[in-house]
Chains A and B, each alone.
Chain A
Amino acid sequence: MSDLDRAIAQLRACRLIPEAQVRELCYKARELLIEEGNVVCVDAPVTICGDIHGQFHDLMELFRVGGDVPDTNYLFMGDFVDRGFYSLESFLLLLCLKVRYPDRITLIRGNHESRQITTVYGFYDECIRKYGSANVWRYCCEVFDYLALGALVLGASAELEPSGPFYNDTTQSTMSTTDDGELETEVLNSKGDVTMSTYRPRQRSSLDNGAPSPTRDPATLRTGAPGTGASSSGAGSYSSSRTGAVLCVHGGLSPLIDTVDKIRLIDRKQEVPHEGAMCDLLWSDPDEIDGWGLSPRGAGFLFGADIVKQFNYKNDLSLIARAHQLVMEGYKEMFDGGIVTVWSAPNYCYRCGNVAAILELGEDASNGGMVTRSNGDIGRSNGILTGTADKAPLRSPGRRYRVFEAAAQDTRGMPAKKPVADYFL
């Protein structure tokens, strides 16, 4: 067993590794991250995760629900530290996994991966308390400066392979019926059993409209042989198309960034600035407004559906996945499915009572020969501006959300401080 594997085993048990080893780990991680671009390209299948915030036991729960590394390919969208009591254990474990399996885990930067924010929200204090000095905090902050700002998921399948019994999806009433994505939500109870699974298949024809079938139809879910462009259902009206890429970023968009390429031009190796494109990517939020608005957070901006549609269209994206905002249901799709918030810290701060979610995107196994309908099959508005017939429509990727609850706070074999949430008494 290598030192790294030993460190992973130790951290998995929620036990810290020695300071010298942290220094070495951070050095190796930096060497690795410096080679990554500002926008990392990740191939599907991938499991996309939102904020963790030092909730170590819930991170273990996440791995149990989503599969272990390296079996599952993970993409974490930042905010590993602060707020929870185990920021060190959580971040160092993720960093170890990154160094050990660099192609199976992607870490991008959140607004809490910053010197200034960690001194207010707990990570700095935790480092001092657990290591007796600020050294480890400094090593970690140096790693933060090298984390990528975003990721682009390529080759996600439009189709979902559903599992389990299905019910009509009534949980996401905000989603427009014109949205053509396949969507599955699995809710796991505290024993890890799937208690509810909803599946909404792609609306293939007018016959299906308004009446998504709760039963599985294997023929329409299988794709054809690689490279053939044919589907096993043999439906001649379907022609090849592609799913757009999925941009993953912690916060959202910036008025200074209209193309993904512009993100690539940022000099990211620095503390998160108070303003500018890099700050916006980590701080902004989508909102039900037109255009851009001021953020109540005091950093970043609010951006509306029109901004998302334009950005997705211009950049051949079918979806923006982001984190940053607490969502009581674990995930929330907005703007006709053009953007989704994924939140992976259940019972946030041991106080909020929310569930968490991770987003699984499947692999397009058909090598580009995807089953899809032809352009004019049904009217679609998602991501498509009127009067622009020069681009083939992009298909939304099939999205499986796994929703899970908080792990126990005091678990056998793992040290756990009983969290005391503050209230106004």
Chain B
Amino acid sequence: MSAPQIPNLNTLRRGAGRGRLRGRGGPGSTSRGHKDRVVQGTDNDASVSRLSAVGLGYLEDPFARILTPLGQETRRLPIINRGTYVRTTAIDQLVARFLGLPSDPDSVWKQKKKQIISLGAGSDTRVFRLLQSHPAPNIVYHEIDFAVNNAAKIKTIRGTHLLQRVLGHLEDVTISDAGDALHSPIYHIHPIDLRTLAHQAEGSTSEDLVARLRETVDTTLPTLILSECCLVYLSPDEAAGVVRYFTQTLFTPSNKSETLALVLYEPIRPDDAFGRTMVANLATRGIQLQTLHEYASLEAQRVRLRQQGFDGGQAAADVDFLWERWVSEEEKERVAGLEMLDEMEEWKLLAQHYCVAWGWREGCAQFDGWGDLEKQSSEG
């Protein structure tokens, strides 16, 4: 018994939608500059979500508020807060084990100086959280992002005593005239469009900025590369090219450099109803997850890692699995008590569409810190 007098909104949409799209789509809206600005804007999403989770007690992060633009504070939904929590703590755990846990019996590995290179880091707080932890790890931390994102971060560092204190002696810190590059003995911010690295791998000559990256990255150190929802915005060729730049050009496999490892955090499973809706919703914001279909499953992520040079081992797990298996019962209870999370089905759906994947290349030093982490074997 349908009600014909009620207008069919969907038929209206069909007609009107095409017209609107035609009207709006000027040449500017598809230009590379516009797309880049959209991708740069996703950094804001991440920092607002982080601040929401910190504000409610999911995460402890004294730097979250400082590195979130003023006036942006929003309380995210409980499922988003929980997802931010799982994503952050899972990567924290991988990083901690890479650096060598205090309880680690392998003191040789633990005492080695390490290097972390964070791709598309934006306003990420991880470097500050690591540097202020006790005992302070012996690390060099590199961040690579668009100049505009770096400039915002460096401006905040300049204006915030708390951040400067973490960086140590100010006389050791240099900042570029444009305010988009920062160098110190332990922390580097490189204003590089990652796509230029992809093309470096094809043998072109280095520009100054890339040359500076080559100078400052110490290829003799065990190195961890982080891509938290970053490479996914590049084309599959460019994303692979960026990884190749590190595995082939910078850390050549032949010269027996130290362990090289990669941690990816990315959406997956674009082909079910939730995934299709996610792709469509993000597209209306102008966001294209370009490698999503290429690396659509946990298995595809593992194969990717193996094929792109991380032959020592590969593993992947979705956020639902990480919540269930990596978070202790005690911690789950604490987190579940922070907010009433009513939407169990929606949480599972959402969490099954994001994954963390990690792989490593064996180097001179034996790295087995990730060996006993539980990984997801099948496509659950």
Interface positions of A (Cβ within 8 A of B): 57, 60-61, 63-68, 71-72, 111-112, 116-117, 120-121, 190-192, 296-299, 325-328, 347-354, 360, 405, 407-408, 410-414, 418, 420-425
Residues of A close to B344: CB separation below 8 A: 296-297, 325
Interface hit among B28-36, B72-80, B109-117: B72-80
Interface hit among B6-14, B132-140, B173-181, B296-304: B6-14
B233 and chain A: residue at smallest CB distance: A425
| A296-B13 Cα distance, complex, nearest whole Å | 39
A285 and chain B: residue at smallest CB distance: B344
Interface contact B6-A350, CB-CB below 8 Å: no
A82 and chain B: residue at smallest CB distance: B342
Interface contact B346-A297, CB-CB below 8 Å: no
- Check if B284 is an interface residue, CB within 8 A of chain A: yes
- Check if B339 is an interface residue, CB within 8 A of chain A: yes
Interface contact B340-A407, CB-CB below 8 Å: no
Interface contact A422-B8, CB-CB below 8 Å: no
| A66-B2 Cα distance, complex, nearest whole Å | 5
Interface contact A353-B274, CB-CB below 8 Å: yes
Residues of A close to B13: CB separation below 8 A: 190, 408, 410-411
5 A–B contact pairs at CB < 8 A? A68-B5, A190-B11, A410-B13, A424-B46, A424-B354
Q: Give A190 Cβ to nearest chain B Cβ, in Å.
A: 4
Interface hit among B159-167, B207-215, B275-283: B275-283
Interface contact A424-B87, CB-CB below 8 Å: yes
Interface contact B9-A111, CB-CB below 8 Å: no
| A57-B10 Cα distance, complex, nearest whole Å | 10
Contact residue among A57, A296, A326, A354 (Cβ-Cβ distance under 8 Å from B9): A57
Interface contact A407-B9, CB-CB below 8 Å: yes
Contact residue among B2, B284, B340 (Cβ-Cβ distance under 8 Å from A120): B340
Q: Mark B324-363, 1 if CB is under 8 A from A, else 0.
A: 0000000000001001111111100110001000000000
Interface contact A425-B42, CB-CB below 8 Å: yes
Residues of A close to B277: CB separation below 8 A: 347, 350-353
Interface residues of B in 24-50 (CB under 8 A from A): 42, 45-46, 49
Residues of A close to B80: CB separation below 8 A: 422, 424
Residues of B close to A413: CB separation below 8 A: 7
Interface contact A411-B46, CB-CB below 8 Å: no
Contact residue among A298, A347, A407, A424 (Cβ-Cβ distance under 8 Å from B229): A424
A65 and chain B: residue at smallest CB distance: B2
- Check if B125 is an interface residue, CB within 8 A of chain A: no
Residues of A close to B219: CB separation below 8 A: none
Residues of B close to A68: CB separation below 8 A: 3, 5-6
